[in-house]
A and B are shown apart, each in its own frame.
Chain A
Amino acid sequence: MTNQQIIERIDRSIAEEFEIDPEEMKPEKTLFQDLGLDSLDIVDLVIVLETAFRFKIREEEGIRNIRTLGDIHAFVLQKKNELESNPR
């Protein structure tokens, strides 16, 4: 899966789960203010990403720093890279 495919998969999964207009899925959009998510949604967002990419991220410190959709893209890409270079 290329980075672009990963990003598209992230955007599609989040848009479907939270019923967001795909046109809104821009990297600079903030999750809370721009996309209308809240703390309960973040619980579900983690599950959506874990299911889509078959990894575990709930305990990752990096999640706390996510503010924008672009932050999610970067977080997931980094996690995928880590897993590919250190497969368990």
Chain B
Amino acid sequence: MNNNEKLKKVLKKTFTKSNIPKKIENLKLGDLEEWDSLGNFNLLLEVEKEFNYRFDTTKFSEMKSVKDIKKNLNIK
């Protein structure tokens, strides 16, 4: 599974009621009904688990989109 697929998997797992679009590159907080600030928090925790990575407090508080996540995970 490549990183994009992994991220998509996490999105699907976190936002079970939403339709996750095929292209997720530009997806951000607010685009899905479940992706509100609480959803964002839970999403980031799932990302950490899936990628076995830990964001520090500052980075965690700044990430609000797929782009942000990818940048901080250092993946393409």
Q: Do A and B bind each other?
A: no
Q: A residues near B, CB below 8 A?
A: none
Q: B residues near A, CB below 8 A?
A: none
